[in-house]
Amino acid sequence: MLELVIGGILFACFAYTGMGIRAYYRRRKELFKQYAGYLDYLQEDIGFLKTPLAESTGEYCKGKKGDFIKILLTYKKMLEEGRLDREDFDKMLSSPYIDKRQKREMESVFYGLGKVDSDTQLENLRKARAAAEAPMNFYKQKYDTTGILAFKLGVVLGIAAMILAA
Partner 1 sequence: MLDKLLTESIYNAVFARVREQDITELRLRAGKPVSYACGGKYHSLPDCPVTAEDIERVIGMATGHSVYAVNDSIARGYIVCGKGYRIGICGEGVMKNGRLFTIKNVTSLCIRIPHEVKGCCEKLQNILENIGNTLIISPPGLGKTTMLRECARELSSRYNVLVLDERGELIPVHEGIMQVETGDMCDVACNIPKITAYATLVRTMRPDIIITDEVFGAEEVRSILDISRCGVYVFASLHAAGINDIFSDETYSPLCKVMRYFVVLGAIGKVSAIYDRGRRNA
Query: Footprint of partner 1 on this chain (CB under 8 A)?
Result: 46, 50-55, 79, 82, 84, 113-118, 120-121
Where would I find the H helices in 49-92?
A: 53-61, 67-81, 86-92
Nearer to partner 1, 37 or 114 (CB): 114
Q: How far is the CB of 51 from partner 1 (least distance, A)?
A: 7
Q: How far is the CB of 46 from partner 1 (least distance, A)?
A: 6
Q: How far is the CB of 43 from partner 1 (least distance, A)?
A: 12
Nearer to partner 1, 20 or 52 (CB): 52
What does the angle CA 78 – CA 79 – CA 80 come to, to the nearest 5 degrees?
A: 90
Q: How far is the CB of 37 from partner 1 (least distance, A)?
A: 19
Nearer to partner 1, 51 or 146 (CB): 51
Tell me the backbone φ, ψ of residue 106, rounded to 5 degrees. Answer: -65, -35
Confirm if 22 and 112 have CB atoms less than 8 A apart.
Answer: no
Confirm if 148 and 44 have CB atoms less than 8 A apart.
Answer: no
